[in-house]
Amino acid sequence: MAVTTSTPPDERTPDTAEGAPEPRRRRGNAVDVWLGVIAWVVGIAFFFPVFWMVLTSFKTEADAYTPTPKIIFEPTLEQYEGVFSSGIGPYLANSVGATVISTLLVLLLAIPAAFALSLRPVQKTSDVLFFFISTKMLPVVAAIVPIYVVVNEIGALDNIWTLIVLYTGMNLPIAVWMMRSFFLEVPGELLEQASIDGAPLWRTLREIVLPIISPGIFATALICVIFAWNEFFFAVNLTAANAGTVPVFLVGFITSEGLYWAQLSAAATLAALPVVIAGWVAQNKLVQGLSFGAVK
Amino acid sequence: MAEVVFDQASRIYTPGAKPAVDSLDLTVADGELVVLVGPSGSGKSTALRMLAGLEPIDAGSVRIDGRDVVDVPSKDRDIAMVFQNYALYPSKTVAENMAFPLKMRGMDKEERGRRVRQAAEMLGLTDFLDRKPKAMSGGQRQRVAMGRAIVREPQVFLMDEPLSNLDAKMRVQTRAQIAELQNRLAVSTVYVTHDQVEAMTMGDRVAVLADGKLQQYATPPELYDRPTNAFVAGFIGSPAMNLLDLPRSSTGVTLGGVEVPLPREISDAAGSRDRITVGIRPEDWVLESTDADAGSVIKAVVDVVEELGSESYLYAHLAEDTSTSIVVRGPGRVKVRFGDPIAVRPNPEALHVFDVETGQRLP
Amino acid sequence: MTTTLERPAPDKQAGGAPMIDRAEGWRRRAPLLPALIFTIIVTQIPFLLTIFYSLQSWNLVRPGSQSFVWFQNYADVFTDSQFRQVALNTVVMTLGSVLIAVALGLVLALLLNRQFFGRGVVRTLLITPFLITPVAAALLWRTVLLDPTLGLVNFVLSPFGASGTEWISEFPLASVMAALVWQWTPFMMLLLLAGLQSQPTDQLEAARVDGANSWSIFRELTLPHLRRFIELGVVLGTIYLVNTFDTVYMMTQGGPGVASANLPFYIYQRAFLGFDIGQSAAMGVVVVILTLIAATFALRLLFRTFSGEEEAA
Ligand SMILES: Nc1ncnc2c1ncn2[C@@H]1O[C@H](COP(=O)(O)OP(=O)(O)OP(=O)(O)O)[C@@H](O)[C@H]1O
Ligand SMILES: [Mg+2]
């Protein structure tokens, strides 16, 4: 993120009056330091539950259930072993499969669509855009009944491809919007130059446009990954042991094992970890993506 | 190498609105460098883009080397274009940028490399061939854009304000380089600029556009010496020509209460008009002593003095008629200051006269 | 359902370009079609089926019970007092969480939009809740944080004599909202921070030279500049939070009673626990209609936000 901090409010042009610039500056710094401290406190407060979850995942159940929460304890990997031995593996594989394949499909469909809506706009561009975004406005609950019935009818319940198709449909509208705003940032002169140079359309796209918008593609993909990985509603209603994803595993896990906090924390940590790390690594891109490129 | 012809070519962006380029007739001879100049919005870029195939031609035709190109896509027009912002491909190195149009034409790798190296040498880019455009200065990028045009060895070069992103000094330097290069390669070139100095120094011929219409198409000296209408007269030259709307008198016109005689043929051409527009370039005033006889010199009061070193410009208003301002060129060092009186006399041999209504030159 | 696309596009020409011929028109449209067709199939057809099912009496556990009953299901839905309660919950939950998250996010963005030691780290800490799988987050809130005897919240509050509060059963809706706010505040913060940082510094400097103080700069310049980012945050937040299911499912199961149930959860209960296809479809249709009304406003907002880049349509 471009670090364009605004001038701190108290840093005015130094007065020549008795006030003398010195103490004033010091006061400004003091305010800054305090606001910095507040920011740290809030940051830690927001993060603390996550920290506690990770911490708990390394405790024994006995250490997890204490009236006074324990910070010092003997860390153990016992919970993670427990989670793995209760079979999170296939669920993780399903999550990875559904997330990766649906994200690739989304990109495959969204990139050409966004291209048609930006660089070589078709007629009625804004109607099409409106249609795409309006599908996001309609709650999925209203569609789940027929989806269930149809999926049941064609024998595709508890099938990973069902989730892939639905996740693609779920992320596609947002992806089209995001990709379009990234496409719009490609200078028109470049395309004109390419057409004078005699590059066919697909080459212009591949060799010139895609390298420029690759950060945008990355951001779009990341957002699709987050939403697909974390999706629960379709997964819980349409899958079971076969095609279940990690969130489904979490639910099944607590119902079968009861609420054991330490083990639960280990499972939750494993469920959240991939997306958290991806988000941390790409936080700048995330903002740009989510604001539809409205932010440069 | 080719001749380029605009034949009554027009571009109308919005149906019913005024054409952005209106029935343009222009011929660029083989190997010639023609500059399109005009104020902002006059249709220069549009005309160039019509030639490039980036804008459709709504009426008339454009021919390159005798071939009507109205329906020919840009890539088949055998032209190369240099854009104002250079339009370098950010993901490609300098060498790849320059080689790209050749690659698209299916040229083999060896020949590409040879041409790129040759162009890079010509432009002093040899050391930068592996850099990305991002890591280069404005002037260097400009040269890469030039290089990409050169390697093509096209029939026509098109340039749309290629120097406007450079600082003043770079601009003068690059201007000379481009002119020299074009001369050497002898490729017909259409060059768009709004900078009249660029136009006058670079162009073999200059086309002045205003409101989408061609005003005059001539060599720079001719443009300066015989502007065909008041617009061109005012547009070419800096500071601009003094254009004064004056009443006729028996032998000429009256300016600041003084009788200015007109040469015979102008007087004849002006016919029975009551008023005419008289154009006097700043250098065509003669500074006289302020003591001179009142009837023979025009008295004025200085508002601003611009001293440029080798010459100076005096901005003044007439003593008799304070609403009329004039610009007078003086020697490098002048003693007059704000509020000082001066006395001037136009050189009658160098007057330009235009019709008040139509702005057309007389005779 | 969205009717935006059904109108055949008259060949309105932009500008005076020579008519783009049919072939060229299709060439330009072609890249759009796969995405469009896919979206129509996956999102529109189910809605049409929802309408169809909503006119039937159909319970999955009684095979052969399917019959056409016209608007009976709708009548049932509207006389269902629980449904009204749940609809109200949905509005409170969605708007409440979004607005609180935006407000908190704005404060955090302002805090982070200044130089201080470890700013990047603080931002990383702050965005983490948004990335956590909602199911895991809900579990975390329900157990580690809000457990009446062993939860951290009561532990922290115990010096103030608040120990033993049964948050989940006493304040179910508020508990769910707390978890949602925790997850969505970081998102709003990121968005608004980006907005703050996209404000041209020369504008701020000019105002400072003009003698404006910090507060008036914020009110007169920063807030108007942030407006479209705030609107975007509200619209996106609403789109996602209306559909909240996982948090309710994991934290409260909608209970006690329907005190914390929202429409997605309620419909889920009807369809997958009651197996009443007809009624849940009817509820779905009602939800769509309500959402469309809300969405029309939201979309206006969104389109104005982007009007800068839209051709006048
Ligand atoms: N895409 C467009 N749609 C509608 N009108 C346009 C478009 N492009 C240019 N125009 C109009 O056409 C006229 C000529 O524009 P053009 O860009 O050719 O001017 P120019 O001479 O190059 O000006 P400048 O020196 O500012 O670049 C202007 O009045 C402009 O407003
Ligand atoms: Mg231009």
pLDDT above 70 coverage of chain B, percent: 100
Residues of chain A with C-beta less than 8 angstroms from the C-beta of B148:
197
Task: Determine the longest span between alpha carbons in chain B, in angstroms.
Answer: 80
Question: Residue A52 pLDDT more than 70?
Answer: yes
Q: What tens digit of pLDDT does each residue of A73-111 get?
A: 777 888 888 888 888 888 999 999 999 999 999 999 999
pLDDT tens-digit series, residues B220-258: 999 999 999 999 999 998 899 999 999 988 888 888 888
Please tell me the distance between residue B210's alpha carbon and the centre of ligand 2 in angstroms.
13
| pLDDT tens track, chain B, 363 positions | 689 999 999 999 988 889 999 999 999 999 999 999 999 999 999 999 999 988 889 999 999 999 999 988 888 888 998 988 888 888 889 999 999 888 888 889 999 999 999 999 988 899 999 998 888 988 899 889 989 898 988 999 999 998 888 888 888 888 888 899 899 989 999 999 988 889 999 999 999 999 999 999 999 999 999 999 999 999 998 899 999 999 988 888 888 888 888 888 888 888 888 899 999 999 999 988 888 777 778 999 999 999 998 999 999 999 888 889 999 999 988 888 899 999 998 988 889 999 999 999 987
Residue-range definition of the domain harbouring residue B248: 242-362
* Beta carbons of A189 and B92 less than 8 Å apart: no
φ/ψ of residue B262, rounded to 5: -110, 145
A152 has a pLDDT exceeding 60: yes
Q: Reply yes or no on whether the pLDDT at A220 is more than 80.
A: yes
Higher-confidence residue of A22 and A272: namely A272
Position B131 scores a pLDDT of 92
| Residue B239, Ramachandran bin (φ over 0: left; ψ between -120 and 50: alpha; else beta) | beta
Does residue B107 contact residue B98 with C-beta atoms inside 8 Å?
no
Choose between A17 and A189: higher pLDDT.
Answer: A189
The two beta strands, B33-37 and B205-210, are parallel
Question: How far apart are alpha carbons A202 and C30 in whole angstroms?
Answer: 13
DSSP-assigned letter for residue A282:
T
Pick from B89-98, C11-20, C148-157 the range whose average pLDDT is largest.
B89-98
Ligand 1, atom 1, residue with closest C-alpha: B13
Per-residue H/E/C for chain C: CCCCCCCCCCCCCCCCCCCCCHHHHHHHHHHHHHHHHHHHHHHHHHHHHHHHHHCEECECCCCCCCEECCCHHHHHHHHCHHHHHHHHHHHHHHHHHHHHHHHHHHHHHHHHCCCCCCHHHHHHHHHHHHHCCHHHHHHHHHHHHCCCCCCHHHHHHHHHCCCCCCHHHHCHHHHHHHHHHHHHHHHHHHHHHHHHHCCCHHHHHHHHHCCCCHHHHHHHHHHHHHHHHHHHHHHHHHHHHHCCCHHHHHHCCCCCCCCCCCHHHHHHHHHHHCCEHHHHHHHHHHHHHHHHHHHHHHHHHHHHHCHHHCCCC
Q: Which two tokens stand for residue A164?
A: 């892939």
Q: Which residue has the higher pLDDT, A132 or B161?
A: B161
Which chains form contacts with chain C, at 3 or more CB pairs under 8 Å?
A, B
Mean pLDDT, chain C, rounded, equals: 78
A27 compared with B283, residue with greater pLDDT: B283
- Please indicate, yes or no, whether residues B222 and B281 belong to a single structural domain of this protein: no
Share of chain A above pLDDT 90, in %: 18
Tell which residue, C106, C304, C308, C116, has the closest CA to residue C222. Answer: C106
Is C309 a residue whose pLDDT tops 60?
no
Q: Which of C2, C139, C303 to substitute to test the interface with A, most A CBs within 10 Å?
A: C139
Are residues B338 and B217 both part of a single domain? no
pLDDT of residue C15: 38
Task: Kindly report, residue by residue over C159-214, the tens digit of the pLDDT.
Answer: 777 667 778 888 889 999 999 999 999 989 988 888 888 777 777 766 666 667 77
Q: Which helix (H) or strand (E) holds B275?
A: strand B275-280
**Separation between Cα atoms, residue A135 and residue A176, nearest integer Å:** 12
In terms of domains, do B190 and B255 share one? Answer: no
**How far is C238 from B299, CA to CA, in rounded Å?**
76
Task: Check if the beta carbon of residue B207 is closer than 8 Å to that of residue B9.
Answer: no
What's chain B's Rg over C-alpha atoms? Answer: 25
Q: What is the pLDDT of residue B117?
A: 93
C17 vs B contacts (CB less than 8 Å):
56
Of B182, B207, B235, the one marking the end of a domain is B235
Mean pLDDT of C243-272: 85
Closest C-alpha to B315, from B239, B211, B214:
B239
**C71, pLDDT greater than 80:** no
* Measured distance CA(C118)–CA(C159) in Å, rounded: 31
* Contact between B75 and A193 using a beta-carbon 8 Å cutoff: no
Gyration radius (Cα) of chain A, Å:
25
Closest CA to B74 of B103, B111, B101, B36: B101
8 A C-beta contact, residue A253 and residue C159? no
User: Which range has the worst mean pLDDT, A143-152, A246-255, C268-277?
Assistant: C268-277
B42 C-alpha to center of ligand 2: Å?
8
Which secondary structure element, helix H or strand E, spans residue B90, and what is its range? none
Q: Is B203 in the pocket of ligand 1 (CB under 6 A)?
A: no
Name the residue of B6, B13, B18 to mutate for ligand 1: max ligand atoms within 8 A of Cβ: B13
Q: Quick one: pLDDT at residue A23? A: 42
**Domain-terminating residue out of B235, B260, B278:** B235
Answer whether residue A25 shows pLDDT above 50. Answer: no
Half-sphere exposure of B265 (CA within 13 A, CB side): 7
Render the burial of A130-153: b for 16+ CB within 10 Å, e for the rest. Answer: bbbbbbbbbbbbbbbbbbbbebee
Looking up residue B104, the CATH number of its domain turns out to be 3.40.50.300
Say which residues have a Cβ less than 8 Å from residue B293's Cβ, sequence separation at least 6. none
* Contacts of residue C227, Cβ cutoff 8 Å, sequence gap at least 6: none
**A188 has pLDDT over 80:** yes
**Which residues of A fall within a CB distance of 8 Å from B78?**
none
Pick the more confident residue, C149 or B186.
B186
Residue range C128-152: mean pLDDT, rounded: 85
Distances (CA, A) of A239 to A60, A234, A236, C39, C272: 32, 8, 6, 22, 13
What pLDDT, on a 0 to 100 scale, did the predictor assign at position A213?
87
Identify whether residues B284 and B217 lie together within a single domain: no
Q: Are residues B66 and B167 in the same domain?
A: yes
Q: Integer distance in angstroms from the first to the last C-alpha of chain C?
A: 21
Which amino acid residue places its CA nearest to atom 7 of ligand 1? Answer: B13
Ligand 1 pocket mutation pick from B18, B42, B55, B211 by most atoms within 8 angstroms of CB: B42
**B160 shares its domain with B273:** no
B46 lines ligand 1 (CB under 6 A): yes
Distance, C-alpha A41 to centroid of its chain: 25
Same domain? B133 vs B191: yes
Task: Please tell me if the CB atom of residue B37 comes closer than 6 angstroms to any atom of ligand 1.
Answer: no
* Ligand 1 binding pocket includes B194 (Cβ within 6 Å): yes
Q: Does residue A14 have a pLDDT over 70?
A: no
The domain tally of chain B equals 2
Q: Are C238 and C98 in contact (CB under 8 A)?
A: yes
Conformation bin of residue B309: beta by default, left when phi > 0, alpha when psi is -120 to 50 = left
- Which atom of ligand 1 lies nearest, measured to the CA of B13? 4
pLDDT of residue B277: 93
For chain C, the structural domain boundaries read 80-312
The pairing of beta strand B341-346 with beta strand B242-247: unpaired
B267/B250 same-domain check: yes
Q: Are strands B21-28 and B4-11 parallel, antiparallel or unpaired?
A: antiparallel
Helix (H) or strand (E) holding B45: helix B44-52
What does the DSSP 8-state code read for residue A122?
Answer: P
Residue from the list A56, A122, A135 with its beta carbon closest to the beta carbon of C32 = A122
Residues C239 and A139: their CA atoms lie apart, in Å, by 8
> Do B183 and B280 belong together in one domain?
no
Q: Confirm if A264 and A59 have CB atoms less than 8 A apart.
A: no
- On whether both B180 and B147 belong to a single domain, the answer is yes
pLDDT at A291: 62
With a CB cutoff of 8 Å and minimum separation 6, the contacts of C199 are A6, C221, C222, C225
- In short, whether B38's Cβ falls inside 6 Å of ligand 1 is yes
The distance of A155 to chain C (nearest Cα, Å) reads: 16
Pairwise CA distance, residues B108 & B102, whole Å? 8
Q: How confident is the model at residue A258 (pLDDT cuts 50, 70, 90)?
A: low
Task: Pick one of 1.10.3720.10, 3.50.50.60, 3.40.190.10, 3.40.50.1110 as the CATH number of C80-312.
Answer: 1.10.3720.10
What are the residues whose beta carbon lies below 5 Å from ligand 2 (ion)?
Answer: B 45
| CATH number of the domain bearing residue B316 | 2.40.50.140
Note whether B350 and B281 are within 8 A (CB). Answer: yes
Same domain, yes or no: B129 and B15: yes
By Cβ distance, the residue of B54, B80, B91 closest to A192 is B54
To the nearest whole Å, the CA of B75 is away from the closest chain A CA by 4
Q: B31-44: b or e for each residue (b if 16 or more CB lie within 10 Å)?
A: bbbbbbbbeeebbb
Separation of alpha carbons B66 and B64, rounded Å: 5
Ligand showing the shortest atom-to-Cα distance for residue B12: 1
Q: Go through the domains of chain A in sequence order and give each one's CATH number.
A: 87-290 (1.10.3720.10)
B97 with B171, same domain: the answer is yes
Q: How far is the CA of B191 from the centre of ligand 2 (A)?
A: 11
| Spatial CA neighbour of B360 closest among B249, B254, B277, B295 | B277
Amino acid at B23: S
A286 and C288 within 8 Å at the Cβ level: the answer is no
Is residue C29 pLDDT above 90, yes or no?
Answer: no
Of residues C155 and C15, the one with the higher pLDDT is C155
Give the residue, out of B11, B36, B46, with the most ligand 1 atoms within 8 A of its beta carbon, to mutate for a pocket test: B46
Cα(C123)–Cα(C186) distance, rounded to whole angstroms? 9
pLDDT of residue C252: 86
